[in-house]
Amino acid sequence: MSSSRTKISLEDARLSGINIDFEKMENGEKRYRLMSSDGSYYCRTVAAETGAWQNSHYHKRVTEFYVIQSGWIVYAEIGLNEDVDFRFLKDGESIFVKPFVHHNLFLSPHTIIHTIKYGGEGSEIDWFPSKELDHFIKNLSENDLKDLIKYN
């Protein structure tokens, strides 16, 4: 049994509703995205040389699945009791984030994560900032997080 594979050009991918987007974020992260016109996407994120928070946000329709390839992250979310809950994740661990959950990630230096977003069903942006969560976490440094994790 032989298989025949043919490369798909970037133009053919675009015509099928698939686009790529590579960018360096304000916090120094590099993001390599593969996005579909149906609102789903895959992203490989490579953290900067210093640890940093991403931007606190939530989605109304999208579910996110984060996988930590190497390094470690601190996942923060506003819990049901409206307190901020923290979770430490390292190589090989993962977390699902459902719609309407205000969340953020702190990536340690050189961490690599993979993010899959799905369920958006449409091309409109489903990303909303969470000033509520930023209020609690944006001033927490890497050392603050290490102390917090040590005592939890």
Q: Where are the domains of the chain?
A: 16-150
16-150 folds as Jelly Rolls (2.60.120)
* Residue 20 CB burial class (10 angstroms; 0-12, 13-18, ≥19): exposed
For the segment 79-95, what is each residue's pLDDT rounded down to a tens digit?
888 899 999 999 999 99
DSSP 7: P
Confidence of residue 38 (pLDDT cuts 50, 70, 90): confident
CA distance 103 to 78: 7
Q: What is the pLDDT of residues 60-75, one digit of tens each?
A: 999 999 999 999 999 9
d(CA 29, CA 49): 9
Coil, strand, or helix at residue 138?
coil
**Residue 150, pLDDT score:** 65
